[in-house]
């Protein structure tokens, strides 16, 4: 009764969906460069795909809980992840709706603003949750014994997927907002540099994590 | 996969379990204390939830700790089911039979 062979691994599904969406986006971007399809259609498609990707990531965020193995112990990560998941799903749906139903030049601006507002909202919400936990009422300790090796690996995968999604989301918002200006190339490379630095820092933290966690939990 | 989620969400007791787990992870005993049903029945409910992938069980010492593991979509379905008190996908008699099969000595 314990094991259920019918269950499809949600992490695996997420990885495949992510790869499919990324492939489609690259195809559309390539088509735009070569001028194979007209620019309006493929911009809409890319916007839609970004929206779908954000919905997928947000949906799986509270389920696979990629953040629960990283960072400080006292932050109620389950709550933060649920909040971030809901915000991302709603933002992704809005994003899709804008690119489907609103004239393109307006959709680009509105959806980017939605994206930026959502990201700041998530950051603010997580900061608030963290602060409330540290200073305010003692919250129920997260009774989470060390996850199994396999689960930990899965969480790592989803964590990087989340990271990549955020990169694509940020770049897409910037591209849709400032894509026409000559300064955009510069800001795009700054975003890339920022995420590369974050990647390096996070990779270091994640790789040193298991040792320190063992000492904390024992 | 999806039908097992619907089945899990179709029962008010199981929905209540999920609501309780939203606050923080709980042990099987603490959860069972919140309900006026026998422990075997509760463990059958836990098994259905686990099978649907809505909760995970982790053994800690003598007790089982259950942690919520729901995607946004599944949580939305839970809210929907709760708002309308739905008996989704399964009728009462089928559920009774299901439970009887899962817990033969009940």
- Helix-helix angle A77-101:A39-64, to 10 degrees: 160
Tally A–B CB contacts below 8 A: 58
Q: Do A10 and B51 make contact, defined as CB atoms within 8 angstroms?
A: no
Domain housing A123: 10-217
User: Which one of A9, A52, A56, A62 makes the best mutation probe of the B interface by having the most chain B beta carbons within 10 Å?
Assistant: A62
Residues A4, B51: C-beta atoms closer than 8 Å: yes
Question: What are the residue ranges of helices labelled H in chain A?
Answer: 10-34, 39-64, 77-101, 104-135, 149-178, 184-217
Q: What is the pLDDT of residue A214?
A: 44
In chain B, what are the domains? 2-97 (1.10.10.10)
Q: Which residues contact residue B19 at a Cβ distance below 8 angstroms, ignoring those fewer than 6 apart?
A: B82
Band (pLDDT 50/70/90 cuts) for residue B3 is confident
Residue A62 placed within a domain: yes
What pLDDT, on a 0 to 100 scale, did the predictor assign at position A217? Answer: 40
The encoded tokens of residue A40 equal 């309006």
> Cβ contact (<8 Å) for B25 and A142?
yes
Calculated CA dihedral for residues B78, B82, B86, B92, nearest 10 degrees: 90
Q: What is the pTM of this model?
A: 0.72
For chain A, which ranges sit under pLDDT 70? 1-10, 35-39, 67-76, 133-152, 180, 206-218
Cα separation of A178 and A180, whole Å? 6
Rg (alpha carbons) of chain B, rounded to whole number: 13
Q: Quick one: pLDDT at residue A40?
A: 72
SS3 B59: strand
B33-75 per-position pLDDT tens digit: 888 888 889 989 999 999 888 888 888 888 888 888 888 999 9
- As for how many domains chain A has, the answer is 1
Q: Decide if A7 touches B, using CB distance below 8 A.
A: yes
């Amino acid at each position: 009764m314990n094991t259920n062979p019918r269950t499809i691994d949600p992490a695996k599904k997420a990885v495949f969906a992510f790869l499919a969406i990324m492939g489609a986006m690259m195809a559309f971007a390539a088509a735009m460069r070569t001028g194979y399809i007209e620019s309006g259609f493929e911009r809409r498609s890319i916007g839609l795909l970004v929206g779908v990707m954000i919905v997928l990531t947000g949906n799986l965020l509270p389920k696979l809980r990629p953040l629960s193995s990283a960072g400080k112990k006292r932050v109620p990560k389950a709550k933060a992840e649920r909040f971030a998941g809901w915000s991302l799903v709603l933002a992704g749906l809005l994003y899709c709706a804008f690119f489907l139903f609103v004239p393109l030049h307006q959709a680009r601006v509105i959806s980017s603003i939605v994206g930026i507002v959502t990201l700041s909202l998530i950051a603010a919400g997580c900061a608030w949750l963290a602060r409330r936990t540290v200073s305010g009422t003692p919250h129920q300790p997260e009774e989470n014994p060390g996850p199994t090796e396999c689960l930990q690996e899965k969480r790592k995968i989803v964590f990087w997927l989340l990271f990549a999604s955020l990169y694509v989301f940020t770049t897409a918002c910037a591209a849709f907002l400032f894509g026409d200006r000559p300064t955009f190339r510069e800001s795009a490379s700054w975003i890339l540099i920022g995420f590369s630095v974050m990647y390096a820092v996070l990779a270091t933290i994640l790789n040193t994590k298991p040792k320190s966690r063992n000492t904390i939990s024992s | 996969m999806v039908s097992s989620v619907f089945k899990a969400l179709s029962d008010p007791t199981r929905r209540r379990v999920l609501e309780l787990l939203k606050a923080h992870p709980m042990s099987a005993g603490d959860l069972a204390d919140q309900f006026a049903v026998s422990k075997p029945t509760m463990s059958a409910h836990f098994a259905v939830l686990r099978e649907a992938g809505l909760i995970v069980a982790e053994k800690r010492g003598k007790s089982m700790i259950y942690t919520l593991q729901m995607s946004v979509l599944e949580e939305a379905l839970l809210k929907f089911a709760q708002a309308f008190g739905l008996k989704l996908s399964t009728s009462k008699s089928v559920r009774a039979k299901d439970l009887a099969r899962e817990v033969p000595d009940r």
